[in-house]
Amino acid sequence: MEYNRNRNNNEQGEQVVRARLPRDKEVIGIVEQRAGGIRMVVKCLDGVSRNCRVPGRLQRALWLRENDIVIVEPWEYDNTKGDVIYKYNNAQIEWLKRKGFLRQIDEL
C-alpha cells in the first residue's frame, strides 16, 4: 500500500515555490534588531530603517528573529514606522534571489 508514490513527481528536482510580492506601498526588509515585545528595527530595501511592530492578528503566527526577510507596510502618517505583515521562508528567499528581487540586500 503505497499512498504517496506519486506525491513528488517533479522530474527536474526543482521545488515549485510561490512567494508573496510586495503590493502598493509595501517594501521588503531585513530584521536588524529585536526591540522587545512585538517591536523590532527593520532595514528596508528603500533605504529607510523602520521601527516596526507585529499586528495583533499576526502575533502568534509570525515568530521573527534577526536577519529574517519580511514584508513591511509603512504607516501612512509616519514613514519611520511600520507593520510586519509577512515573513519569507528559505525556499521563497532563494526564489526571490533568483528572480532578482533581493539584489539590494548585499549592498545593505
Write the pLDDT tens digit of every residue in 41-80: 999 998 999 999 988 877 777 788 899 999 999 999 999 9
H runs (alpha helix) in the chain: 90-99
Per the structure, the complete domain to which residue 97 belongs is given by 27-105
Helix (H, G, I), strand (E, B) or coil at 74: strand
Bridge partners of 33? 41
Query: Is there a domain that residue 12 lies in?
Result: no
Cα distance between residue 103 and residue 108, in whole Å:
10
Mean pLDDT on 21-33: 92
Q: What CATH number is attached to the domain comprising 46?
A: 2.40.50.140
Q: What per-residue confidence (pLDDT) applies to 75?
A: 93
Reported pTM: 0.78
Instruction: Look at the chain and report how many structural domains it folds into.
Output: 1
Does residue 88 lie in a domain region? yes
Query: Is pLDDT of 9 > 80?
Result: no
pLDDT of 1 over the 50 cut: no
